[in-house]
Structure 1
Amino acid sequence: MKFQEVDITKSSGQKMRFSIQKLRKSLHRTGADEQTISDIVNKVQEELYEGISTQEIYNRAYALLKKEKSYLASKYKLKKAIYELGPTGFPFELFISKVLEYSGYTTEVGKIIQGKCVSHEVDVLAYKNNQAVMIECKFHGEQGLNSNVKVPLYIHSRFLDIEKQWNSSKRKIVLTQGWVVTNTRFTENAIQYGECAGLYLLSWDYPENDGLKDRIDRLGLYPITVSNLLTKREKDFLLSRKIVLYRELIKDAFFLDHLGISETRKNRILNEIKEVCNF
């Protein structure tokens, strides 16, 4: 049996053919050189077997990458790091607001907005050029849980209620669009409805080449949970202080002092941030 012909098992339980190209692409995204990528791909191929889970493949590639260069492994664990923003959805909402701020928006998180019929708590409001967008975040704490058509249906109805009230009150800022953001994926029906209804959908890999992972990589906006040097307790402390971007610790390094982190370890962490976030 050729390695390329092995069927692997996704987190959803679905079977799919192993793709060397997908593995190479995920490793290339970290900035690893071609020789490192080829070495890892070859070693992973040697250990493939029929029905192996995508998680096992990821774990093996991650371990090999971490052995090569720790900061590359931090980038490679991006998807897992997003899940680690849970178990509640609030850190993810805060993370999305920060990503938007680096794209030129000003944002508000968890604001109560009056609609025509009822009031609504909006996850994120983002403003740019006298226009506002209403953003609802659908966070999943487990792999394989995608957002189906019920999600954009529900959020579209909320947007329409808020839009009627907002744009009838003669505000200088016009509410122009509703967004739905998820850390996993949308089903085909969800995408079809979102496009038809005029909602902007943003998921892990949608829109193509401009999904969440693409924006994070492009802007270097990695969540603090990618760190290989911080413990879970330290990450939880920083998240409780609303530090969700790893790069924020460059200017807010005093939080590391609050945690009692030694000067030597602190410098290692700050150096890793610069490597991960492309400073």
Structure 2
Amino acid sequence: MRDLEPDIIKSSGEKVKFSFSKLRRSLLKSGANESIVSSIIDEIRDELYQGISTKELYNRAFALLKDHKGAYASRYRLKKAIYELGPSGFPFEKFVAEILNFAGYEVELNKVLQGECVTHEVDIIAKKGGTGHLIECKFHSEEGRNCDVKIPLYINSRFNDIHSFEKKENQGWLVTNTRFTLDALTYGECVGLKLLSWDYPEEESLKLLIDNSGAYPITTSTLLSDSEKQFLLEKGIILGRNLLERSYLLDHQGVSENRKKRILSELSILCDISVNDGE
């Protein structure tokens, strides 16, 4: 076996050293066992070359996982699936609200609140244990785009205006599907703004919240077509769990009974719950 660890090109254009250990961790998190992961890494090791893109590596690992089991591939493509929630960002807001529901929060979407100077539409208001949380979601549909310090600066100023009028402190959150720059993280910590991204904070990141709750977006499915996913999103089906409860919607798209069973089986394994007819 070669121990080649070439330079790879990230979606941002940054050149970094490839890490077999990082690839192994991400494959194991998909649910695949050590034997499957080792065989995939062996195949990828033989295909590595200097300057390979992370996208090409991802696509190859995804294809190999799918050969073993669709649900493994679905979990592995989670980050990409969130990008596919749509350019408007509204499905992402609903997705975050669903995750908070699973975490025991009471949530309201798109509420207009009066500030001291102007009114503000807040993406999510969440309550738990007597504490209120004002949450703004920043969705990026392009890989490689991170939230810089201008975003939390703007969001925090809005929250301050609301707090000045309401005379009470609700914790402010900023949630993104990508990553924060170092300046953004430093500013958020300084002013007490809770930041939640794909990989931050380390022990309570967006990815971990999804994995722990089984609240996977419908776009993780490897069996649904793009048009079917779009149809379901327009019907308010954000999570795989939602489709298991309303599986009759697949009939509206002319999905055959055999394929319908395969789709529901994939989603039930992915979400780790039993299949029901949803009717």
TM over 0.5: yes
**Which SS does the other structure have where 2:132 is aligned?**
strand
**Which SS does the other structure have where 1:5 is aligned?**
coil
Q: Which runs of 5+ in 2 are unaligned?
A: 274-279
User: 1:86, CA displacement in angstroms?
Assistant: 1.6
- Count of aligned pairs between the two proteins: 273
Is residue 2:81 matched to residue 1:81?
yes
Taking only the aligned residue pairs, the percentage that are identical comes to 55
Is residue 2:253 matched to residue 1:252?
no
1:231-279 deviations in Å (ceiling 9; x for gaps): 1111111111111011111111121222222222211111111111111
**Which SS does the other structure have where 1:247 is aligned?**
helix
User: 1:67, CA displacement in angstroms?
Assistant: 0.7
Cα RMSD, aligned residues only: 1.3
Tell me, yes or no, if the aligned pair for 2:89 and 2:139 is still in contact at 8 Å. yes
Is residue 2:33 matched to residue 1:33?
yes
C-alpha separation in 2, matches of 1:149 and 1:276: 35
C-alpha separation in 2, matches of 1:235 and 1:277: 17
1:42-90 deviations in Å (ceiling 9; x for gaps): 1111111111000000000000000111111011100000000121110
1:159-200 deviations in Å (ceiling 9; x for gaps): 111112223xxxxxx642000000000001100000010000
Aligned match for 1:262, one of 256, 259, 263: 256
C-alpha separation in 1, matches of 2:153 and 2:87: 24
1:181-235 deviations in Å (ceiling 9; x for gaps): 0000000110000001000000000001311111111111110000011111111
**Which SS does the other structure have where 2:159 is aligned?**
helix
Aligned match for 1:223, one of 217, 222, 231: 217
Tell me, yes or no, if the aligned pair for 2:115 and 2:162 is still in contact at 8 Å. yes
Tell me, yes or no, if the aligned pair for 2:27 and 2:37 is still in contact at 8 Å. yes
Question: What residue is the counterpart of 2:15 in the other structure?
Answer: 15
* Runs of 4+ with deviation above 4 angstroms: none
Q: Which runs of 5+ in 1 are unaligned?
A: 168-173
C-alpha separation in 2, matches of 1:139 and 1:4: 36
Aligned match for 1:179, one of 156, 166, 173: 173
Question: What residue is the counterpart of 1:212 in the other structure?
Answer: 206
Tell me, yes or no, if the aligned pair for 1:107 and 1:127 is still in contact at 8 Å. yes
1:139-177 deviations in Å (ceiling 9; x for gaps): 11111100001111100000111112223xxxxxx6420
C-alpha separation in 2, matches of 1:5 and 1:106: 47
1:89-128 deviations in Å (ceiling 9; x for gaps): 1010110000000000111111211111100111111111
Tell me, yes or no, if the aligned pair for 2:5 and 2:20 is still in contact at 8 Å. no
**Which SS does the other structure have where 1:229 is aligned?**
coil
